[in-house]
Structure 1
């Protein structure tokens, strides 16, 4: 059984290549201080090149483009295709390292089942990257839909109180988290662009593309059509949109509540089984 982990180790060294191994040994002190550089040399760069040489990226072009589009939404429009390939290569490298670690454990413990678990883990890690992006996109969309009606309501109040549309746009960020929440993070970019002299239409279009949510697209269209009018026309246009968005917010909140309740079913079933064992065990012992 020891032949399998040795073969995996030799194959890993071959994938890394002699040039990178010499680079690692020559700059070992600096690399120890920079763990990211070590991970890049051992896992990300060699496995990304391996996937490139094996033309696997070409065979999975549709999946790669879909995954890249999701990462562009999550990471920003400056995210490049090469970065997506490196991320997939890193996932493949970490999966290979997990498989190799399980192979050594299986050899040490004499348990072949660990080898099978390592192979399964090595395959699941890259696939997990693709599935995780879809979940993050869905979560991001829900967060935007939940917060958008509240922002529109604040915008209506400020404009109705006599402020101009551009002034109200800036004040909508007061007391909000502009670093973590996706809606206010993108809205902060709009305010920053306007302060730098960019036209409102250009900033709004960038906001629409960055959010990539249908409700935001409708909101952006309403803004572009009515922000110059201001006053009652602007407030009435936003109020009509607000009714629809509040209903969608309620639907998203209900969906989240149903998901949370369904997730609680499995722990409750487990607890019920444990209670049944505790209750039935004494009765079974007395009967015996």
Structure 2
């Protein structure tokens, strides 16, 4: 069996105590940001209900022109009233308190406040004096086509200028920021392209060493082997695309054809590639011209073995990086699966 328990009704003595407590709380709550009712400079807080008390409040004022029912001060009307009442404008507030459980049980509490002008800053006082000076000049010179602005007030010199339009500065700042971001983006893209170039060259290095080792072992000179590799690349370039390492080899061959010493071409080739492996290859070929071909085949064979090991290590690292990049999609797929499984289970639960 459900039993409904109604709210407890107060006796007349208890209700009077509640009205007294409500009146005391109103004295505090109505202040708002003001410190005293005898000097009100900010808007009042005319509450319509009291916390923890079953009391509703309605307000009645005797001077609505300077203060409205929301407690907001009417500045223009207050300034006009302060001309006659210099010590402050007195406003009588009546709070009609009603017991919410019985609308017939009410009480009235009166509060008197004194509205005073808000404390003005030094700048506000100066602006008011300037306005007064301009208004006085305008009244005395209504027939003139122009109006005069004061150049000095209370011994303080005053200059005038139009307010600056900040939209141009904002657009300029945004433009500069965009330029900086685009510059950073371009640098980042260049860095990524350079990293891709180096990875591609390291992937091609074992094949280049293997081709050189094979051609030199077949009895060709280093220059002829170099030309053979470049010619094969030029023939397969339309199908395979451009490869950075072979492009550098083609540039080195063009230098040889242009009369640059072969030794210098090999060394500059390694320097342009910018990788330790290619610098070592250029040094081996350059030493071959000075010392002869003795030991070059063994050196290239060992370099080829080392290059293939480096290529396998690079491929392994790239595979690990790819696995790391797949973690986020895997987590997203896991979240989707959990939603697919859990949501129908919750929906099937009968409440």
The TM-score bracket by the shorter chain reads 0.5 to 0.7
Given that 1:155 and 1:168 are in contact with CA atoms closer than 8 Å, whether structure 2 keeps it comes out as yes
State the structure with more CA Rg.
2
Name the CA distance, whole Å, in 1 between partners of 2:256 and 2:182: 42
Question: How far did residue 147 of structure 1 move?
Answer: 0.8
Given that 2:270 and 2:280 are in contact with CA atoms closer than 8 Å, whether structure 1 keeps it comes out as no
Given that 1:146 and 1:249 are in contact with CA atoms closer than 8 Å, whether structure 2 keeps it comes out as yes
In the other structure, the counterpart of 2:311 is 249
Given that 1:140 and 1:182 are in contact with CA atoms closer than 8 Å, whether structure 2 keeps it comes out as yes
* 1:144-155 aligned within 5 A: 144-155=201-212
Given that 2:263 and 2:289 are in contact with CA atoms closer than 8 Å, whether structure 1 keeps it comes out as no
1:223 and 2:280 equivalent?
no
Higher relative contact order (CA 8 A, sep 6+): 1
Given that 1:177 and 1:184 are in contact with CA atoms closer than 8 Å, whether structure 2 keeps it comes out as no
The structure richer in strand per residue is: 2
1:6–1:277 CA distance, 2 compared to 1 (3 A)? farther
1:125–1:180 CA distance, 2 compared to 1 (3 A)? same
1:164 and 2:164 equivalent?
no
In the other structure, the counterpart of 2:263 is 201
Given that 1:159 and 1:230 are in contact with CA atoms closer than 8 Å, whether structure 2 keeps it comes out as no
In the other structure, the counterpart of 2:76 is none
Question: How far did residue 126 of structure 1 move?
Answer: 3.8
In the other structure, the counterpart of 2:193 is 136
The structure richer in helix per residue is: 1
Given that 1:160 and 1:232 are in contact with CA atoms closer than 8 Å, whether structure 2 keeps it comes out as no
Question: How far did residue 132 of structure 1 move?
Answer: 3.4
In the other structure, the counterpart of 1:213 is 275
Aligned alpha-carbon RMSD (Å): 2.8
Question: How far did residue 285 of structure 1 move?
Answer: 1.3
Name the CA distance, whole Å, in 1 between partners of 2:244 and 2:325: 25
1:278 and 2:340 equivalent?
yes
Name the CA distance, whole Å, in 1 between partners of 2:278 and 2:167: 52
Name the CA distance, whole Å, in 2 between partners of 1:248 and 1:240: 12
1:163–1:218 CA distance, 2 compared to 1 (3 A)? same
* 1:40-59 aligned within 5 A: none
Question: How far did residue 124 of structure 1 move?
Answer: 4.9
* 1:82-93 aligned within 5 A: none
Name the CA distance, whole Å, in 1 between partners of 2:333 and 2:323: 15
1:228–1:166 CA distance, 2 compared to 1 (3 A)? farther
Q: CA offsets, 1:105-156, max 9 Å, x none?
A: xxxxxxxxxxxxxxxxxx7544333333333333222211111111110111
SS in 2 for 1:172: helix
1:284–1:143 CA distance, 2 compared to 1 (3 A)? same
Identify unmatched segments of 5+ residues in structure 2. 1-164
Q: CA offsets, 1:137-179, max 9 Å, x none?
A: 3322221111111111011111111211111001113145497
1:274–1:6 CA distance, 2 compared to 1 (3 A)? farther
TM-score for the superposition, normalised by structure 2: 0.46
1:170–1:266 CA distance, 2 compared to 1 (3 A)? same
Given that 1:187 and 1:207 are in contact with CA atoms closer than 8 Å, whether structure 2 keeps it comes out as yes
